[in-house]
Structure formats: C-alpha cells, structure tokens
Amino acid sequence: MRVRRKGAAEIRQAAEAAAIAALKVAAQEVPRPPFDESTAAFFDVDNTVMAGASIFYFARGLAARDFFDSRDLLRFGLAHLTYRLRGQENSDGIQDARETALAFVAGRSVAEIVRYGEEIYDERMAEQIYSGTHALAQQHLDAGQRVWLVTATPVELASVIARRLSLTGALGTVSEVRDGSYTGRLVGGLLHGQAKAEAVAALAEREGLDLSRCWAYSDSINDLPLLSLVGHPVAINPDPDLKAIARERDWPVKDFRTARKAVRIGIPAAAGAGALAGGVAAGMALRRRVVSA
C-alpha cells in the first residue's frame, strides 16, 4: 500500500511542530556563545551527515537486542543496501517504513527509545559520520552561525545526534507523546520534502533568520524545496537527480563518499554513551514481539 500524500494543512502542522520542538529542546542545552542572529546552516542527516540511513543502523542494533527476528533484519538490510548502492532514497519507501513503524510504538517510553538510540549510535553509527560534512558544520559554528539538523527522524532522537556532534539542535518528525510514552501518532506528518522547507521557514520566522544568508546541505532531490529556500544551497553526496539540478543551477557539489574513512565522531573520550538512532524502527520491533507472543 502506498503512503497517502500529505495535504498542505498536514505539512504546515508538521513544520510548525518541528520548529517548536526544536527550539524547546535547544533551549534546554548548555548555553552557547553568542551567534550571528540572522544566519544558520541546515543539514540533512541520511547520506549527508552519515553514510546510509540511520533507521537501518538502528534496526540492526535492535535486532542484536532480540527486538525482532532475522527475517525483518534481512528486509531492512536489503533496503539499506539498495539505498547505499543507488545513493538515492525512495521517498515512498522511507515514508512507509517510518510512518508504518509509528503505529507500533504506542506505549513505549521516549526515554527507552532514546537510551537504545544512544547505545546504537556508539555501536553502529558514529563510524558512519562523514568527517567532511562534520567539518563543514564545524566551520559554520566557528563562524558564529547556528547549525541545525533537518530530518524525518523523530526529533527526540535527532536532537541527541545534534548534541553529540556539538550542533545547535535538530528539526525532526514530531510524534505525539503522552505521559512520557509514544501514542503511535504523528503531530502533522513526517518531516520530509516540502515539510522540511516549511519547518525551516517557521524556525527562521521565530528566530529572525535571513534565509537569503543561510545554507542548506542535502544529498536528495526530495530536499529540493529546502535547498531552494536558502541563499546558499549545497549538494552533498548527491543522488543523480540532485546532481543534475545542482549543475544546472551552479550550486556547489561536494562528495565525501569515496574518500570517507571510518572515523568515530561525537563520542566522549572517556565513555561510550552515544547519540541518535534512526527512530521509530523500534515500533516495528514492538509489533514483532507482540505478534510472536
């Protein structure tokens, strides 16, 4: 079954929820030095900040914890392999995986999912971070500019990876939470495609950003609305469609895929407490446990 297309109202709701949640989480962090109030940089996550899709690394980590069986892991693995080899996400597939999973996280606590995400980041995702992309983000921070992740990953988890990479914060998909646990519903919808652009616009309005002076980085043609929104779009490890658009519009193109070395980034020297996960894949695990019980 194909994922239904989101309407304009649903996209706006997802965007507003993402902006509000991002600022709420960022406000809880340790105070930072003053930033340039009018500029910021926005980074996609999957295949831009890290090689591959975070949700599949998270699924592997959950499988190692007996959350679901080898057949599910094989399905996740095949999808991830296709994503890595093609360098191009299937938007319907990504939405279906994430949205379907949400139906099964009901009752699971946010703290538990974040805890597993921290562990799995250290085990499987930290070494997948592109050092070149991380260096670009650090350049923006050094220049006094705020740096935000923008991703379909749940905001609670996206915020963890942002913290671990010493970034400002993250805009992500907002799931409904009641009494500290997921209800299994989204607030609006997935932060994907047009919704990402609208979330950045909502954040810019609240923070007084001049989008003509802002940067955006992504690998995917699905993020064309986001890239087109800012004055400085950059294609990172672009899929074929985005690469063609970038050449046509004379956007910078950077490719860190062939030169990437396995560098563990965002891990404290003394401990292995780590960051984010690919998100609501945990929901799939929940369903498998219930079904097999």
Candidate list 44, 72, 122, 223, residue with the active-site label: 44
From 115, 137, 18, 132, select the one nearest 58 (Cα to Cα).
115
* 44 included as an active-site residue: yes
Tokens of 141: 């921070």
Nearest residue to 154 (alpha-carbon basis) of 175, 169, 168, 180: 175
* C-alpha closest to that of 188 among 2, 24, 12, 3: 12
For residue 172, report the phi and psi dihedrals to the nearest 5 degrees.
-145, 175
46 is catalytic: yes
Taken in order 8, 278, 206, 181, the sign of the CA dihedral is positive
**Catalytic annotation, pick one of 46, 122, 223, 239:** 46
> Whole-angstrom Cα distance, residue 137 to residue 150?
13
Pairing of strands 40-43, 253-254: unpaired
Would you please indicate which residues are annotated as catalytic (active-site) residues?
44, 46
